[in-house]
Structure 1
Amino acid sequence: MTKVFTTSHLFFVIFSTSYVFTEDLFCPPAWPTTKVQPSDTDIPALEFLGYDSESECVCRKIPKKWTVCYGSDSCYRFPRSFKIDTTLLRVKTTRISEILAGDLQSVTHLESLEIEGNFHLWRIQPGTFFNMTKLIKMSISYNTNLKVLEKETFKGLINLKELYLMKNGFTNVVDITQSLQVQFVPNLIKVSLSENEFVNIDEHAFSSMASSVIEELNLVLCQIENISSKALLPLRKLQVLRLGENNFEASTVTNLLETSIDNNVPLKMLNLYGNGFRKSPPKAMLKVLAKSNITHLCMSKNQFEIISDTTFPSNDKLEYLDLREDVILNITADGFAGMSNLKTLLLSGNKLSCIPDGVLLESLTYLDLSTNSGDSYFPSYFSLGRRRFSKMKALKLLNLSYNRINSILNESFVGLDNLEIMGLKNATVFHIQPYSFQPLRKLKILNLENNPFPTNTPLTADLFYGLDSLEVLLLGGCMISDLSDKIPIFSHLKHLHHLGLERNHLTTLSSDVFFPLSKLKSIDLTDNFLVSWEQRLFENSSSLQVVHAGHNRMSYMTEAMLNDLSNLTQIDLKGNPFNCDCYSLQPLIKWMEFHINLSVLNNTELYPNCVFSSGNTTSINVDYLKVIRNKMAKCDQLIQNFSFIPLIVIAIIITVITCITYLYRWQIKYFLFVISLRLAKRKRLLPKQKCDEQQSFHYDAFVSYSNEDREFVVKLVTMLENHEPYYKLCVYERDFQVGAIITSEVLENVAKSRKTLLIISDSYVRSHWCRWEVQIAEHYKLLEKESYDVCTDDSIILVKLGEITSSKLSSTLKYLMKTRIYLQWDSDLRKQDIFWEKLRQILAPPK
């Protein structure tokens, strides 16, 4: 399986900490293709092979990849009982103390072997690797008790090319090199002895390797304090030497190089990173280098601060110079003037605030100025200036990532006529002028990831004008929310192969955006807010093969989506909230009838999940879709049944509303009454009265009572209307108009009455109608006066008849009976006289 080349791989070469020398080195180094093989983390889980009872080891494997055997609490000898069919075997973290001849007789087919982290291992018996003629690469590292290798340890490894013996217990180089004689490993070209404690290396250290074909030797972090100037003379074909992170003086390296060069050791690459050089590189050493054939020099992680015209002598053979993380503050105009053939210059991780004059070399093809703006605690700014690159016609790769550039002007890149790759990732670019990339006619890869410029610069076609040859455009994490414009944004990118739009804020896309991209092969839309699209997006992109659209908000597949995805070889829709119902999956099922092979969905790692109404999930893989297709008729019937669901829902809603209306009918009536009351006031249906006019009211009191108390009300009317002082009462049985609307009559007569008289009895509190009249009286008498300036005397009179069930009292009646003094009717005749007298006093109009 392959996957689309992502941004993490884009500047792999630039950010790598080591440099692999090859004969046909291309400066800049060869760029990764747009597809890379997956790492070990991309492949399935380990397959359990079993437990070896003899060795007590546990082994697992990834088929056709590698096998690993381990056992930190067991595994006392090399496992033999397993049939290992992979070409790579890893034996790690075991308790093996000795590897014996014959232990590897069942794995002679191996091409790679790693014996690492076995802290009890102290010996590898000669003859162990007999007949392992296919082994090409081997690592015996991090075995801290392994202190010596016997002379014939590696006998039989006639095709071994790379050997790693890192961080073991070796203290003397001879204890290793005696086993590396050319008769045992005739094709060995690379040896790494890094992270062993050698301290001193004498002139005989590599004598036993005379006539070997070794081309690369690594002695990094070996605590070397002294190394004989003649130590490398037996290595007659040595081309690459790495001596980084050691403790020797500069003169030691100078003498070693001078003697080796004088004796025709063909060194081409020298790595001296992190050796504590201060202020400037050792001048004597650089003079020796200038006389040699060394073309590649690494002096990173030292401290040089200022590179001036006296720092480096003239050297017309040097092609590659690595000065990363050297705390360089400035490079003067003649800093590299004597390096007429310098092609690759790495200056990332320094303290430059602009593009110094000294780096503007016409011979350069690769320039790395990334990460020159400090860190998050001490940030600085980086200026591109105008026309700074005007003479750099040969430059092919320029990396300006991780700087605080802020703005890119339309003259920033003038002169870069042959540039093919540009890195501006995390460059804090807030503004890009239109036509800024116009000079870059040959640019193939442009990385603008994680820059917020779309929030300040309109995304228009003019922004990418001139990028006629661009093949890869990376815009991930740029906070892009909209790609629409009158002229398609990507209209000038006719040759674009890959477009990265992941980690943005896109919600919808238009087919106009992608219409100019007829040669597009892959697109990354991961981690946006995209929903299912109804119109085709990639109809004009006939070469499209790979789409990554995981972790968006798509809930169903549309016909347009399926047509867009028909010819793909790979699609990633993981993390989208698809529904598992028939309605959502039916377009996909029907589409299957014309795409039976479904090769686009055959990648088990990229299956999206869908969610059932129950909350369970399943993977939308080929098998699941075939099951659904076989039940197509049932699915169609289910969809037809779904059409009745809205009618059923409406019927249920109407039923619920009817029940609620009946249960709360009195509350609703009261609410409608209040509304009508307010409307009446606004329309002035009820005339305003003056409070000082005695004739303002038609009635002295409105009587609210229950029909069960009619006998008392008749007596009440007789006593108050037929005896002095004479009062006129409003009683609905006598005074309401026949045929009129009750609510309107109640409203009108309450308004015509000076007071409201409530005859409260047990039957009264059980009556919904009486409760409603109480609410009307309270609302009108107590609230409407304040809201509309209606003339009332703010009086409600309560008359209590007999005992009342308190649980039946409404909240309004409870409030009135707690806050107002009420009259109690008594059957005692003497008390009745007092009752009538008090009632007349209360009903008397104000003086």
Structure 2
Amino acid sequence: MTSFNAIEKLQKLDVSHNKISTVIPGVSQHLQHLSISNNSLAALPNLCLRRNSYPDLSELQLDSNKIGNFVPEYLNCLEKLKVLDVSLNYIDLLKTDYFHSFKSLSSLCISGESRTFYIQERAFNNSNLLSLDLSRNKLTTKSLHGCAFCGMDRLEKLNLAKNNFFKMEEKLNTTLTPLVSLEELLLLDCKLQTIPTVTRYYHNLTYLDVSWNLIKSWPNNLFERNTKLNNLNVGQNLIQTVTSKMLPEVLRERLKTISLTANPFVCKCELVWLIQWIHREPYKFWDYPEGYRCLNITERICLNNTGAFISVTTVTCFFICVILIASVINKYIWHIKYHIYMWRYRPKQLLDIAEKHFVHDAFVAYCVEDGDWVLHDLLPVVEEGENIRLCIHERDFLGGKLIIDNIVQHMESSRKVLVVLSNDFARSKWCQFEMSLAQKLVIDRSIESIVVVLLEDIETVNMSKSLNALLKTTTYIKWQDNENKEIVWQMVKTSLKRQYEL
């Protein structure tokens, strides 16, 4: 227990680092500085118990005690009190207008409270306050009322370091809005992902510290209105690149100190302007050169790399385009060939079928695997004694000509097309081409029709869209290798004969 009795002319009293648990106020007319720090006070001492006991007291240190409840009436009688420090106590609540009655209070420190700390609306509400320290209090926007700083229109310095505003930047912006006179703002180690945009409206701001956060970037025009900003600390963040618009030239010229230390810069040519600035004015950069990466990037290196990059990119893009074009051509080669030859062999003027002179009665479209059936079964039966002339590529195609030319020429000179359909036929690209060409000639009325002989059922995996359409729209003859062969042959011969012979 300690009693502060009158001591003539005593102006400063320091009883810190003791085990004082109770204070009985005395009378000291000239005491200006009183420190009771690092003691065992469980309650706020009532220095207003005797009014005007300390008329000249201007600084009071009560930090590092065990004070759990702040009672304004115990201190607000101190009309000249300017500095009050109640840090590192157990205070857990500041109510509305707690500091409104302090007439001269200009500096207040309530940091490092060991409990969850709640601050109500307009808790400070004192236009005389110039400096406020609320660092290390585990504050969030849930425990800090959105209007906690209302009524502090003259506050010049605010310290909110080592609180937790992770993903709460928007609410923090609202809370900081009333502080229009701020000159110094400390938000280091608050888990911020962005710099609060409200800072752009602080026209008197000279010092901003947002180091040790999670900031990756900020808008180009963020500091446009901070015409007095000359100290900026954005070190120990997650910044990978900084553009010249993020730190415009006007700001760069005005800055006395800047920290970009320990950021994970990606060493690309976009940083050349920054590296040049660092080398030009190294005295402005905190922790230079140890805290900075990419200091060996030069404009010359980037120009060389740019030329090489353009060359490599151009060549790479060329080869990619060639590969893509080749892939497309390979995938649609037969469609492309089909349309090319259709364009080449398109008749200038289609003639009526009745007026055309056909060399063959039918062009036989078949695959090599079905050649034996065509040559040994179909050809003897259909041509012998029936006056039907078939076009067989082994016999009738001219040597020395392109296969595609032979197909188009002989199919156009045939009255009909006989398709010998099998799974091997369905898998053959040449056979698919012949079938597509035949369908085109029928549509153009260059030939009469397509006759289909189905040697076997077509498996689903071999069924193309055009083949499926042909089977659904054309009455086909199904080959049966049994006693009904005569009926099948009669159907084939009837289908291939000229109409006037039927």
Tell me if the contact between 2:30 and 2:55 (Cα under 8 Å) persists in the aligned partners: no
Distance 1:645 1:542 in 2: 48
Tell me if the contact between 1:571 and 1:601 (Cα under 8 Å) persists in the aligned partners: no
Tell me if the contact between 2:118 and 2:144 (Cα under 8 Å) persists in the aligned partners: no
Structure 1 residue aligned with 2:64 = 371
Tell me if the contact between 1:607 and 1:619 (Cα under 8 Å) persists in the aligned partners: no
Quick one: structure 1 residues 638 and 602, their matched pair in 2 at CA, closer, same or farther if it must change by over 3 Å? farther
Residue identity opposite 1:524 in structure 2 = D
Structure 2 residue aligned with 1:82 = none
Quick one: structure 1 residues 345 and 531, their matched pair in 2 at CA, closer, same or farther if it must change by over 3 Å? same
Paired residues for 1:229-268 under 5 Å: none
1:466 aligns with 2:151: yes
Q: Deviations over 1:36-68 (max 9, x none)?
A: xxxxxxxxxxxxxxxxxxxxxxxxxxxxxxxxx
1:573 aligns with 2:260: yes
* Residue 303 of structure 2, aligned match among 592, 615, 633: 633
Structure 1 residue aligned with 2:398 = none
Tell me if the contact between 2:106 and 2:128 (Cα under 8 Å) persists in the aligned partners: yes
* Residue 201 of structure 2, aligned match among 503, 516, 525: 516
**Displacement after TM superposition at 1:348 (Å):** 1.1
Distance 1:353 1:647 in 2: 75
Tell me if the contact between 1:387 and 1:414 (Cα under 8 Å) persists in the aligned partners: no
Q: Give the aligned length.
A: 332
Distance 1:639 1:533 in 2: 29
Query: What secondary structure is seen at the aligned counterpart in 1 of 2:74?
Result: coil
Distance 1:391 1:516 in 2: 36
Structure 2 residue aligned with 1:605 = 287
Structure 2 residue aligned with 1:711 = none
1:347 aligns with 2:42: no
Of Structure 1 and Structure 2, the greater helix share is in 2
Residue identity opposite 2:180 in structure 1 = K
Tell me if the contact between 2:215 and 2:237 (Cα under 8 Å) persists in the aligned partners: yes
RMSD, aligned CA: 3.7
Query: What secondary structure is seen at the aligned counterpart in 2 of 1:606?
Result: coil
Structure 2 residue aligned with 1:324 = 16
**Displacement after TM superposition at 1:331 (Å):** 2.1
Structure 1 residue aligned with 2:210 = 525
Tell me if the contact between 2:205 and 2:229 (Cα under 8 Å) persists in the aligned partners: yes
Residue identity opposite 1:370 in structure 2 = D
Distance 1:530 1:567 in 2: 23
Residue identity opposite 1:364 in structure 2 = L
Distance 1:555 1:619 in 2: 11
Residue identity opposite 2:199 in structure 1 = F
Residue identity opposite 1:422 in structure 2 = L
Distance 2:256 2:63 in 1: 36
Structure 2 runs not aligned, ≥5 long:
328-422, 425-453, 465-502
Tell which deviates more after alignment, 734-743 or 522-531: 734-743
**Displacement after TM superposition at 1:632 (Å):** 5.2
Tell me if the contact between 1:573 and 1:606 (Cα under 8 Å) persists in the aligned partners: no
Query: What secondary structure is seen at the aligned counterpart in 2 of 1:465?
Result: coil
**Displacement after TM superposition at 1:325 (Å):** 2.8
Residue identity opposite 1:356 in structure 2 = P
Structure 2 residue aligned with 1:427 = 113
Structure 1 runs not aligned, ≥5 long:
1-305, 374-380, 611-617, 658-731, 745-847
Distance 2:45 2:172 in 1: 41
Structure 1 residue aligned with 2:124 = 437
Under a length normalisation based on structure 2, what TM-score does the superposition of the two structures give? 0.58
Quick one: structure 1 residues 427 and 604, their matched pair in 2 at CA, closer, same or farther if it must change by over 3 Å? closer
**Displacement after TM superposition at 1:484 (Å):** 2.0
**Displacement after TM superposition at 1:438 (Å):** 0.6
**Displacement after TM superposition at 1:648 (Å):** 8.8
Distance 1:517 1:434 in 2: 22
Distance 1:574 1:473 in 2: 23
Quick one: structure 1 residues 384 and 635, their matched pair in 2 at CA, closer, same or farther if it must change by over 3 Å? same
Q: Deviations over 1:127-183 (max 9, x none)?
A: xxxxxxxxxxxxxxxxxxxxxxxxxxxxxxxxxxxxxxxxxxxxxxxxxxxxxxxxx
Tell me if the contact between 2:34 and 2:57 (Cα under 8 Å) persists in the aligned partners: yes
Distance 1:341 1:487 in 2: 43
Tell me if the contact between 1:435 and 1:463 (Cα under 8 Å) persists in the aligned partners: yes
Query: What secondary structure is seen at the aligned counterpart in 1 of 2:124?
Result: coil
Query: What secondary structure is seen at the aligned counterpart in 2 of 1:515?
Result: helix
Tell me if the contact between 1:396 and 1:418 (Cα under 8 Å) persists in the aligned partners: yes
Tell me if the contact between 1:393 and 1:415 (Cα under 8 Å) persists in the aligned partners: no
Tell me if the contact between 2:32 and 2:58 (Cα under 8 Å) persists in the aligned partners: yes
1:507 aligns with 2:227: no
**Displacement after TM superposition at 1:630 (Å):** 3.9
Distance 1:585 1:648 in 2: 30
Distance 1:641 1:534 in 2: 33
Tell me if the contact between 1:421 and 1:445 (Cα under 8 Å) persists in the aligned partners: yes
Tell me if the contact between 1:352 and 1:382 (Cα under 8 Å) persists in the aligned partners: no
Higher relative contact order (CA 8 A, sep 6+): 2
**Displacement after TM superposition at 1:735 (Å):** 12
* Residue 461 of structure 2, aligned match among 737, 741, 760: 741
Distance 1:485 1:392 in 2: 35
**Displacement after TM superposition at 1:560 (Å):** 2.6
Paired residues for 1:29-108 under 5 Å: none
Distance 2:291 2:321 in 1: 34
Residue identity opposite 1:527 in structure 2 = W
Percent of residue pairs identical: 23
**Displacement after TM superposition at 1:652 (Å):** 13
Q: Deviations over 1:106-138 (max 9, x none)?
A: xxxxxxxxxxxxxxxxxxxxxxxxxxxxxxxxx
**Displacement after TM superposition at 1:555 (Å):** 0.7
Quick one: structure 1 residues 600 and 532, their matched pair in 2 at CA, closer, same or farther if it must change by over 3 Å? farther
Tell me if the contact between 2:141 and 2:171 (Cα under 8 Å) persists in the aligned partners: no
Distance 1:442 1:580 in 2: 48
Distance 1:442 1:411 in 2: 13
Distance 1:390 1:635 in 2: 68
Quick one: structure 1 residues 382 and 643, their matched pair in 2 at CA, closer, same or farther if it must change by over 3 Å? farther
Structure 2 residue aligned with 1:54 = none
**Displacement after TM superposition at 1:422 (Å):** 1.3
Paired residues for 1:166-245 under 5 Å: none
Structure 2 residue aligned with 1:407 = 93
Quick one: structure 1 residues 641 and 479, their matched pair in 2 at CA, closer, same or farther if it must change by over 3 Å? farther
Tell me if the contact between 2:165 and 2:172 (Cα under 8 Å) persists in the aligned partners: no
**Displacement after TM superposition at 1:640 (Å):** 3.9
Tell me if the contact between 2:38 and 2:63 (Cα under 8 Å) persists in the aligned partners: yes
Distance 1:632 1:434 in 2: 55
Residue identity opposite 1:365 in structure 2 = S
**Displacement after TM superposition at 1:549 (Å):** 1.3
Structure 2 residue aligned with 1:543 = 228
Distance 1:486 1:451 in 2: 15
Structure 1 residue aligned with 2:102 = 416
Query: What secondary structure is seen at the aligned counterpart in 1 of 2:303?
Result: helix
Tell me if the contact between 1:400 and 1:427 (Cα under 8 Å) persists in the aligned partners: no
Residue identity opposite 1:518 in structure 2 = H
Distance 1:452 1:645 in 2: 57
Tell me if the contact between 1:409 and 1:433 (Cα under 8 Å) persists in the aligned partners: yes
Distance 1:652 1:518 in 2: 58
